[in-house]
A and B are shown apart, each in its own frame.
Chain A
Amino acid sequence: MDSDDEFNSSQVSEDEFMQDSDVDLVDDDSDFDMDQDDVGFETQDKDIKPSKQAYEVDFKVFDPEQIQQTQDKQITDVSAILGQPPEATAILLRHLRWNKERLIDKYMEDQDGILESAGLGESATHNPPKIIRVKGFVCDICCEDGPELDTFAMKCGHRFCVGCYRQYLYTKIKDEGEAARIRCPGDGCNRVVDSKSLDLLVAEDLRDRYQELLTRTYVDDKENLRWCPAPNCVYAVECGVKDKELKRIVPTVHCECGHYFCFGCSLNDHQPAPCALVKKWLKKCEDDSETANWISANTKECPKCHSTIEKNGGCNHMTCRKCRHEFCWMCMGVWSEHGTSWYNCNRYEEKSGSEARDAQAKSRQSLERYLHYYNRYANHEQSAKLDKDIYLKTEKKMQQLQNTTGMSWIEVQFLDTASQALQQCRQTLKWTYAFAYYLARNNLTEIFEDNQKDLEMAVENLSEMFEKPIDQLKGLKVDMMDKTAYCNKRRIILLNDTAENLKQGNWEFNVSMS
């Protein structure tokens, strides 16, 4: 590889870079470790953004150029410390998974050893890797032999024909996406194919992919960097939350592409439930899906007249077409009782002890309890999809309305805002049920359930408005904007409460968090 090209290709001037974003990447030797102590909880009140909520974490989004630049910057810095050319430094850094401190230590301790293991040793300089022909050689991979056969081996001596070596590298790079740590094809050999050997063997058409993968290792190897998991997204997110902190914090980050995801586990935003509970919950749902599906498939009839009811909007306030009975889709209870002090749709009422004495009753009760939470979890997931469908239909109608009544694009934006709020609130609500399933009752759970109930009611109220006929929507604009704002407010209240208590270890869970 041509070192000059590699290091200058994506160079952006520092000024330009600083203008583009407020990141401190080029700050002396900071190398991404933006004051990590500040990311914790204790300090959050006094630092940076005053508007930061208890459930929010600090993070920064990087585009590919910024990542390349940071990487180049670190290479330049370490290169100066070690007195090695940048190209060799890059190889050494990748070799040690971008752990700068470890590299410097190791280099000071045993310079020859580290150079040798990265494929940069004396022997490599005086005796660079080369393709040769060997008399009487038989390739162990293809079983070909003959005096015309080009062969290659690294210092470990595992020699194969060049065709097989190339095909091996091709498989690793193209199919398996490996680059920086491809091992020798020899059985049980741990020698990593060094970059000089790769340069010699890798065909032109693989160079770009190879370079791209090398760049990717930088993010992969850094504990405080993660690729955005959205399909085709090229951004990486930096966040200081460590693995061991994940019991106390749910680090949702927001990528430039619009995707909200968890920095801890890369799944879609799952606040307020901590990663460990999310993992357990998803596993449980997978294992129990048959039972749960059976139940939800069998509850889709009107509780009064038993005619089949199809749900076609996100709203859970159902009115039976046949008997006009109004009920709640989640608990199948009478709707008129919802929104009053009788409302207990979200709370699971534990049966008294006497009812659950024998093992069978207990297991039935535990299934019932699970289904209570699962149905609500699944329902919000489903409702979010239906809300979206109905919004898309509304959007189309609004466009027609725009054309016929001359309402401006700006004027219909409230629908978009409302729809997004619904999506986000349902996402949160969905996970409150997984969270609640693992929550052991204490004096705080009631507040949580009240918050959950309030958010749920706010969401259902807003969701219901989407089902209104299109000609009424115009007149509901102010009301709808109010309801949207209220939903967002309830969501923040709930998330702040859960995050605050999680951080202080106030929640008690009925499973271990590890």
Chain B
Amino acid sequence: MALPKRIIKETERLMAEPVQGISAIPHEENLRHFDVVIFGPSQSPYEGGVFKAELFLPEDYPMAPPKVRFLTKIYHPNIDRLGRICLDVLKSNWSPALQIRTILLSIQALLGAPNPDDPLANDVAQQWKEDQNKAIATAKEWTEKYAKP
């Protein structure tokens, strides 16, 4: 099936004007499948980490949101063991006017501002609420261990 104009335009723009701290490169054999790299935002426990993720544009994109999943292990209350992300714009607040670039920026912002009150990984959220300093230390440890190239 031919790729919709929207996806072609978005991909072109992602290549021509990449977003700071993020890269998204489509697979050659499937242009709806992107290899994503997100750099941990500074001043966050993920600083210095390089996080790999995959992004997939479903058949009904942009009516339906893209599917995004972290591949690098990460200690975060809104990201679970399988790398799935709890983020409103990927679910109920998705708008077809949003784009891959805006979504990736939102994910990067989520790394900078974890939200333990809307958890996906319950155990992590619990620890985050009970002892934030310890949770941040663990997040740093994991970044060091799993997200350093």
Q: Interface residues, chain A, CB within 8 Å of chain B?
A: 140-144, 158, 160, 164, 167-168, 171, 185-189
Contacts and interface: CB of A to CB of B under 8 A. Distances in A.
B63 A142 contact: no
Interface in B85-110: 93, 95-98, 102
Contacts of B96: 141, 164, 168, 185
B4 interface: yes
A96 to B, nearest CB: 21
Nearest to B64: A171
A166 B53 CA distance: 33
Given A143-B9, A188-B93, 16 more contacts: A142-B4, A142-B6, A143-B5, A143-B8, A144-B5, A160-B97, A164-B96, A168-B63, A171-B64, A185-B96, A186-B97, A187-B95, A187-B98, A187-B102, A188-B95, A189-B95
Contacts of A167: 63
Interface string B5-24: 11011100000000000000
Most buried by B among A143, A164, A168: A143
Contacts of B97: 140-141, 158, 160, 185-187
Nearest to A188: B95
Q: How many residues of B sit at the interface, in one of the four size bands?
A: 10 to 19
Interface in B55-105: 60, 62-64, 93, 95-98, 102
Contact of B5 (A140, A142, A158, A171): A142
- Lowest 4 CB-CB distances: which A-B pairs, in order? A187-B95, A143-B9, A143-B6, A171-B63
Contacts of A141: 6, 62, 96-97
A185 B60 contact: no
Interface of B: 4-6, 8-10, 60, 62-64, 93, 95-98, 102
A142 B95 CA distance: 13
Contact of B95 (A143, A144, A185): A185
Contacts of A164: 96
Nearest to B99: A140
29 contacts: A140-B97, A141-B62, A141-B96, A142-B4, A142-B5, A142-B6, A143-B5, A143-B8, A143-B10, A144-B5, A158-B97, A160-B97, A164-B96, A167-B63, A168-B63, A168-B96, A171-B63, A171-B64, A185-B95, A185-B96, A185-B97, A186-B95, A186-B97, A187-B95, A187-B97, A187-B98, A188-B93, A188-B95, A189-B95
B63 to A, nearest CB: 5
A171 B60 contact: yes
A236 to B, nearest CB: 26
B105 to A, nearest CB: 12
Most interface-central of B6, B64, B97 (chain A CB within 10 A): B97
Contacts of A140: 97
Nearest to B63: A171
Nearest to B4: A142
A137 to B, nearest CB: 14
Nearest to A139: B6
A141 B63 CA distance: 9
A171 B96 CA distance: 11
Contacts of A188: 93, 95
A451 B41 CA distance: 63
Nearest to B98: A187
A140 B96 CA distance: 8
Contacts of B10: 143
Contacts of B4: 142
Contacts of B64: 171
Contacts of A168: 63, 96
Contacts of B95: 185-189
A177 to B, nearest CB: 13
Nearest to A165: B96
Nearest to B7: A143
B121 to A, nearest CB: 16
A504 to B, nearest CB: 36
Contacts of B9: 143
Contacts of B62: 141
Contacts of A142: 4-6
A53 B29 CA distance: 68
Q: Which of B60, B62, B96 has the most CB of A within 10 A?
A: B96
Contacts of B60: 171
A188 B93 CA distance: 8
